[in-house]
């Protein structure tokens, strides 16, 4: 039932009282109006709180996973998946005793199978859960394992949400210290579904220094803040290109744009990754640079980013 405006209600009462000759003194009317307005506001706040509490799903941890780190970008084509793969490998390289998993949540454009050199369908456990495929010590799950490599995913939103739910809840991860989720670009249904359904220890935003990419990265950071996911920091990807012949450095996508955005948002820069042909070639061949060229400057950049992530993560549950 629609609530009437307190002022309108009080005016009507005053009019009826005047007709009956029973109008109360002026101070009484003021006090009555204030009490009515106050109680009405409080009732409205309670009603809104009840509606919101019903609308948001309750977060439920992924069984066997201690901490979830999401790698996201507001815009596609900024090297987010490459960064997610190398961050997962760098987390494992920093501490060989830690178990790390990698979930490809990009339903429409899964790239983890190729970058991690994995093919085939996941096996099912007796509990009808999918077993992740494993390479380089990293447990991986992706939509790319469930469809043909060249098959397009032509799905509407509800089907995508169902697929995301299965990837989150119907996978036997075993015991993981860290699960890195490669999020799709943008700030849509998948991002909201993941953020609201599972507890996330922190988000990493990847962007190039280009102005167009920075606009979307800003939106991505603000989205995580709205759903109460802590943003650990930003990664400035493709920050500089060094000519392999003359060693001259060129800032193809601009200079320090991500650093400026980090200052605006009050966030930290986790690291800079150069624009280097080895990063692209190693991922295309299924041998990411952190594994295939661990002494290279590119691999050291990812290892530094992983260390900065670990410094900012909360103490994991025992």
What pLDDT, in 10s, does the model give residues 271-288?
999 988 899 999 999 999
What is the distance between the alpha carbons of residues 33 and 51, in angstroms, rounded to a whole number?
A: 27
Contact 85, 283 (CB under 8 A): yes
Q: How far is CA 203 from CA 181, 233, 262, 304, 310, in A?
A: 9, 7, 14, 16, 12
pLDDT at 1 (0 to 100): 41
Q: Which fold has domain 65-312?
A: Rossmann fold (3.40.50)
99-113, 205-219, 246-260: segment of lowest average pLDDT: 246-260
E runs forming strands in 136-257: 138-142, 176-182, 202-207, 231-237, 241-242, 249-250
- Per the listing, tokens 């998946």 go with 81
CB contact burial 124-163 (16+ within 10 A = b; e otherwise): eeeeebbebbebbebbbbbbbbbeeeeeebeeeeeebbeb
Contact 74, 216 (CB under 8 A): yes
126-130, 176-180, 248-252: segment of lowest average pLDDT: 248-252
The structural domains of the chain, with segments of one domain joined by +, span: 65-312
- Per the listing, tokens 């980090």 go with 262
What mean pLDDT, rounded, does the chain reach?
83
Contact 167, 105 (CB under 8 A): yes
Give the mean model confidence (pLDDT) for residues 83-108: 94
241: buried, middle or exposed (CB in 10 Å: 19+, 13-18, 0-12)? middle
26-40, 146-160, 249-263: segment of lowest average pLDDT: 26-40
Predicted confidence (pLDDT) at residue 104 exceeds the cutoff of 90? yes
**What would the pLDDT profile of 221-271 be if each residue is shown by its tens digit?**
999 998 899 999 999 998 878 777 787 778 888 788 899 999 999 999 999
Calculate the CA dihedral of residues 102, 105, 106, 111 and round it to 10 degrees.
20
Q: How far is CA 58 from CA 61, 196, 234, in A?
A: 10, 7, 28
Residue 33 pLDDT grade (very low, low, confident, very high; cuts 50, 70, 90)? low
Residue 180 pLDDT grade (very low, low, confident, very high; cuts 50, 70, 90)? very high
Predicted confidence (pLDDT) at residue 6 exceeds the cutoff of 80? no
Give the mean model confidence (pLDDT) for residues 11-24: 44
Q: Give 283 or 57, the one with higher predicted confidence.
A: 283
């Amino acid at each position: 039932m629609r609530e009437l405006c307190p002022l309108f209600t009080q005016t009507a009462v005053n009019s009826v009282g005047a007709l009956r000759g029973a109008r109360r003194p002026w101070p009484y009317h003021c006090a009555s109006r204030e009490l009515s307005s106050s109680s009405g506001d409080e009732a409205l706040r309670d009603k809104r709180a009840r509606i919101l509490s019903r609308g948001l799903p309750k977060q439920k941890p992924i069984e066997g996973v201690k901490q979830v780190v999401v790698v996201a970008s507001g815009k596609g084509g900024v090297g987010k998946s490459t960064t997610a793969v190398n961050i997962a490998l760098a987390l494992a390289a920093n501490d060989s005793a830690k178990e790390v998993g990698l979930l490809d949540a990009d339903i429409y454009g899964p790239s983890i199978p190729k970058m991690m050199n994995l093919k085939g369908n996941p096996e099912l456990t007796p509990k009808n859960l999918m077993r992740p495929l494993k390479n380089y010590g990293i447990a991986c799950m992706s939509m790319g394992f469930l469809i043909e490599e060249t098959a397009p995913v032509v799905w509407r939103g509800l089907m995508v949400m169902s697929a995301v739910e299965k990837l989150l809840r119907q996978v036997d991860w075993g015991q993981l210290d860290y699960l890195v989720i490669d999020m799709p670009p943008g700030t849509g249904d998948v991002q909201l579904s993941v953020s609201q359904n599972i507890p996330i220890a922190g988000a990493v935003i990847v962007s190039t220094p280009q102005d167009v990419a920075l606009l979307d990265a800003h939106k991505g950071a603000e989205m995580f803040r709205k759903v109460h996911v802590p943003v650990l920091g930003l990664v400035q990807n493709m920050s500089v290109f060094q000519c392999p012949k003359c060693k001259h450095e060129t800032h193809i996508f601009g200079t320090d744009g991500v650093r400026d955005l980090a200052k605006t948002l009050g966030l930290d820069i986790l690291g800079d990754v150069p624009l280097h042909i080895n990063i692209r070639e190693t991922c295309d061949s299924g041998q990411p640079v952190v594994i295939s060229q661990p002494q290279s400057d590119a691999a050291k950049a990812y290892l530094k980013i992983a260390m900065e992530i670990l410094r900012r993560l909360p103490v994991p549950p025992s």
